[in-house]
Amino acid sequence: MKRAALLSLVLLAAASQLAVAADLPPPVYAPVYKAPPPPVYNWTGCYVGGGGGYGMWGQDTFVNNAAGAQITNNITNGGKGWFGQGQVGCDYQFSTPILNINAVIGAFGDYDFDNLRGTSTTPLGVGSENETGSWSAGLRAGWLVTPRVLSYFDGGYTQAHFNQVNYSGLLAGAGPAGFSLAAQTYNGWFLGSGFEYSFDWLPISGLFLKTEYRYSSYSSANVPFLSTATGAPVASGNTLNSVKYTQMVSTELVWRFNWMGY
């Protein structure tokens, strides 16, 4: 009897606990914190950059007479050296992908402070010829390999300036040849390709590193030979026909101050 009474009390207590538990509200748990997703960088905006690199120029030349007829064989030579560069530009990133590509287009201009030293050779003399400066203006189009890495192609118009050439005789130790070539600016076009990378891990925002290869081709020019004694064109009226081209690799540190990105 005592055991039956004890069992009855246990069952009654269990039933009471179940009834109380049924009347309680469900437990409330604290929400799990999730970090917000990182902002997606937008390349729309403008930038300035500065840097430098290494370049080479080449030329194919021959001498024309006063009537414009070629009177010598073609000669190929050139030069090489270092240069500094400054650039400004603006980009626009399309708000939606184009053919599943996050596309960016832009316009830019840059100036190179060149020190590309070489030679100019004719059948009658040889002299030092240096590219001292060039500028370019063009467009670029690219795609985002990642939100922070841009790969692109560019092209446009360019000019390059070469200094005056003072010729000496071809034989070792020969003195001045008596003629020179005036300084000349050459007009042409360029094509290039490169990539730009964001230093998003630095405490200073907006810094990028850009590396580019560029090929430029310039229109031919007939440059008159000048008498070193008088500075006037030589009596024969001969000119040097020159076709120049350059190859340059540059690296720039870019500060981007876009007004729509992060």
pLDDT tens digits, 247-261:
999 999 999 886 544
Global pTM reads 0.81
Nearest CA among 62, 58, 90 for reference residue 75:
62
pLDDT tens digits, 15-34:
555 555 455 566 655 666 56
Q: Other C-beta atoms within 10 Å of 249: how many?
A: 14
Cα dihedral 167, 169, 174, 176 sign? negative
Domain 46-62+78-256 has CATH 2.40.160.20: yes
Residues 184 and 225: beta-carbon distance below 8 Å: no
> C-alpha distances in angstroms, 70 versus 77, 120, 152, 167, 186?
18, 17, 41, 20, 20
Weakest-pLDDT range from 24-38, 48-62, 69-83? 24-38
Q: What is the pLDDT of residue 10?
A: 47
Mean pLDDT of the chain: 86
